Amino acid sequence: MGKKSNKQEEKTEYGESAQYDPTFNGPIHKRSCTDVICCIIFMAAIAGYLVVGILAWLYGDPRHVLYPRNSTGMFCGLGLNKEQTSVFYFDIIKCATATNIMAAALNGLQCPTTQVCVKQCPDEFWVIDVVTAYLPGALAKDVFKQDYCVPSIDLSTTALTVKQILDRELCPYFTIPTAAVLGRCLPKIGSLNEIPESFVLPGISSPNETADAIRNATGDLVSGFNAEEIGVRIFEDFASSWHWILIGLLIAMLVSLLFLLLLRFTAAVIVWVLIVGVLGVLAYGIWHCYWEYDNFKTSELTFNDVGFTTNFSVYLQIRDTWLAFLIILCVVEAILLLLLIFLRKRILIAIELIKESSKAVGYMMSALVYPLVTFVLLVVCVAYWGITALYLATSGEPLYRVVALNSTQADCSSVNGTEPCNPLQFNSSSYQTSCPSVSCIFIKYNNEGLVQRNIFNLQIYNVLAFLWCVNFAIALGQCTLAGAFASYYWAFKKPSDIPMFPVTQSFMRCLRYHVGSLAFGALILTIVQFIRIVLEYLDHKFRAAQNGCTRFIMCCLKCCFWCLEKFIKFLNRNAYIMIAIYGRNFCVSAKDAFLLLLRNIVRVVVLDKVTDLLLFFGKLLVVGGVGVLAFFFFSGRIRMPGDTFSAEQLNYYWVPIITVVVGAYLIASGCFSVYSMCVDTLFLCFLEDLERNDGTKEKPYYMSKNLMKILNKKNKVPKSD
């Protein structure tokens, strides 16, 4: 009697056990809407998100980002410049080394040099010969190329001298080999190693200094290769190998399904092989450490002799290092052996639940297709967020100011960049006497309107709504799968008692009754994720000004919120399972799930680790196997009969290999996420089954015969699986 009382007290410490309900036989169908207030707030947030998207679409113009502009503000590749798709900078060095007072006013948005739209970027080193070009009889058409001069000047008829054209920056002083990168003519870094000796710019003493100045001007925009050329080659590789890539992804899907099928029959073998393998690796490590320790018995080197060094290989020459490794591995091996001895029954339960999950997935193959629904929803969320962010970033009309492009001229200091102008109507003749190089240049986007003044706030709302929608889509998928797999567990006679189209029924229940609860859980996770984003932003923004103490505090905050996010994901996942089964609101479901898991904490840990081990092994098998096969095929080591495809057709054979590996990982993650959700759902149902029922005729167990055998339980009424 005393033992029973203590057991009852132990249970009530983490909540009361689930009570028997004679009417319960699976996910409850007669349920009501939950967390209605949160549902209304979520719908209002979605409506607000749509309004933000409409405002962004009305006021934004992504052409500002997608297409480059010339100095007159016209887009290259559109309208009159349809054939001129790239913008050419007259003096790329001014992007980094300009010293005039307008460099700061430009805010890095545009170089203080003339820009023209061109059909083809310059591909040669050329610099004007001032000795011959400044002669009185020199003609502009014999010195410059019309394609690289501003459209307003006609070299064949102009009366301007070469010097006047250069002072007004109507034509470039020099050209270098460039390539179009995102519509901008940027230097080919490789060509800068071959600058002719005669190519020396004003104010620079040698070709090497010229090359350094150009590299500094282009910065990170060019990383030493022709991006357009590589992009074309990669596209060609996809065009010639796309059908083989699809075959590789199909193989990855078949291998994933085959692995899940084999788990039904070989789960116990795989788990024990993995466990024995881990113990065997540790045993080998113990032997090797002892062998190394014994070999260094004549060594007199100590830690005091070595001190602190970053060359860790030095520590391996110390005998005590191997002794420390030996002790650590022995302790770990002993702990694992003890856990294996005392938790063997729980490991058997975990294995049986994994086998049962394989059966459930086998009965509901449509569940393996459902991740495609979640994937489509996530793609829609990401696409809407990206487009909205782009349109918001380009909201407002572009503003132009009068700028002196050549600050070395005496009277250009009066042009301070505050005078507004219209690049299409700008007339520089009034400035020609004092400052010939004056121009009308884009400064920034107008931020004076109501929408423009709140761009930052709208971008924050865009991020918050995006995170909320993404987390809701994931929650909807988890709750849908949980309801389907719960209907499998609570079917007393399988498969005859399993309802028709369980995944579809569960999906409709979630949308009809539990949008508010799913949105509630997604909102909690969104808030934590947003705080993590803010912390990362602040850490990046003020990293240079941080001392050791602030860096430690920031690191602790980021670590704490990372742990909090992981815990909330775990709590939400189990709460969604309870919502799918019983139809209660989020808070009650989260509490019931959490207390149920606390009452069975050891089983939770064992099942979690065994499942993680299996899924890791499965992903390693799928991704590694398909990746190795793709490597041997696309590198030419395996050839198909008939020579339908040859590795020599590829420019970069690693492109399809990486594509297949990434695709295989996504496919394996999608299949195994369904399997993991099935294991978690059946585990909670199993725990509820133990608390609700006792095996009598009135309260029979719903678990499989093998599970009952492991637990030494049985139904008085025979149960057919």
The 3-state secondary structure of 5-70, one letter per residue: HHHHHHHHHCCCCCCCCCCCCCCCCCCCCCCHHHHHHHHHHHHHHHHHHHHHHHHCCCHHHHCCEC
- Counted residue by residue, the chain has a size of 721
Number of H helices, E strands in the chain: 23, 8
- 3-state SS of 329-367 is HHHHHHHHHHHHHHCHHHHHHHHHHHHHHHHHHHHCHHH
User: Which residues lie closer than 8 Å to 613 by C-beta, 6 or more apart?
Assistant: 271, 274
| Least confident among 94-103, 119-128, 671-680, 686-695 | 94-103
pLDDT at 679: 86
Task: Please provide the distance, in angstroms rounded to a whole number, between the alpha carbons at the two ends of the chain.
Answer: 36
pLDDT, position 18: 65
Q: What is the pLDDT of residues 361-386, one digit of tens each?
A: 877 777 888 888 888 899 899 999 98
Give the range with max mean pLDDT: 364-378, 403-417, 515-529, 542-556: 515-529
Report which DSSP code applies to 297. Answer: T
Query: Averaged over 474-495, what is the pLDDT?
Result: 88
Strand runs (DSSP E) across 122-191, as ranges? 126-127, 174-175, 178-181, 184-187
What is the token pair recorded at 5?
């009382």
pLDDT at 23 over 50: yes
Tell me the average pLDDT across 651-675: 83
Q: What is the dihedral of CA 500, 502, 508, 511, to 10 degrees?
A: 170
Distance separating alpha carbons of residues 344 and 639, to the nearest angstrom: 48
Confidence tier at 526 by pLDDT (50, 70, 90): very high
Q: What digits encode the pLDDT tens for the residues 209-224?
A: 766 666 665 543 444 3
Instruction: Determine the Cα–Cα distance for residues 499 and 364; give it in Å rounded to an integer.
Output: 11
Provide the pLDDT for residue 339.
82
- Out of 21-25, 103-107, 407-411, 561-565, which region has the weakest mean confidence (pLDDT)? 103-107
Instruction: Calculate the CA 623 to chain-centre distance.
Output: 19
Cα separation, 141 vs 116, in Å, equals 18
Residue 633 burial (CB count, 10 A):
22
CB-facing half-sphere around the CA of 664: CA atoms within 13 A = 27
Structure tokens at 399: 């503003």
480: its two tokens: 């849908």
The burial of 215, by beta-carbon neighbours within 10 Å (0-12 exposed, 13-18 middle, 19 or more buried), is given as middle
pLDDT of residue 436: 63
* Cα angle 665-668-673, degrees, rounded to a multiple of 5: 120
Quote the pLDDT of residue 402: 76
Look at residue 463 and tell me whether its pLDDT is greater than 90.
yes
> What percent helix, strand, coil does the chain show, rounded to 5?
65, 5, 30
Is the separation of the CB atoms in 260 and 358 below 8 Å? yes
Q: Name the nearest CA neighbour of 475 among 587, 354, 571.
A: 571
Q: Cis bond leading into 495, ω under 30°?
A: yes
Q: pLDDT tens across 234-287, in order?
A: 766 777 777 888 888 888 888 888 887 777 777 778 778 878 888 888 898 889
pLDDT at 114: 81
The mean pLDDT value for 326-349 works out to: 86
Q: What is the pLDDT of residue 425?
A: 67
Lowest mean pLDDT among 126-135, 185-194, 306-315: 306-315
Rounded Cα distance, 506 and 362, in Å: 18
Q: Which two tokens stand for residue 648?
A: 């020599």
Question: Per-residue pLDDT for 110 more than 60?
Answer: no
Identify the band that residue 226 occupies on the pLDDT scale cut at 50, 70 and 90: very low
- In 3D, which of 570, 704, 698 has the Cα closest to residue 23? 698
**Residue 623, pLDDT above cutoff 80:** yes
Higher local confidence (pLDDT), 397 or 707? 707
The answer to which of 31-35, 42-46, 224-228 has the lowest mean pLDDT is 224-228
pLDDT at 393 over 50: yes
In this prediction, residue 573 carries a pLDDT of 93
pLDDT confidence band for 4 (50 / 70 / 90): very low
Q: In one letter, which amino acid is 381?
A: C
> What would the two tokens of residue 279 be?
């113990």
Q: What does the pLDDT read at residue 20?
A: 65
The residue with tokens 């167990």 is: 701
Looking at residues 434-458, what average pLDDT do you find? 70
Q: What is the mean pLDDT of the chain?
A: 78
CB 118 within 8 A of CB 185: yes
The pLDDT of residue 626 is above 90:
no
pLDDT tens by residue, 58-98: 887 777 767 777 877 778 888 888 888 888 888 777 665 43
For position 151, what pLDDT does the model report?
A: 84
Please give the Cα distance from 55 to 45 (Å, whole number).
15
Residue 109 has what pLDDT? 39
The string of pLDDT tens digits covering residues 157-196 is 887 888 888 877 788 888 888 887 777 887 776 666 667 7
pLDDT band at 3 (very low <50, low <70, confident <90, very high): very low
Please say if the pLDDT value at position 102 is more than 70. no
The residue ranking higher by pLDDT, 231 or 549, is 549
Q: Does the structure show a pLDDT above 90 at 474?
A: yes
More confident residue, 352 or 578: 578
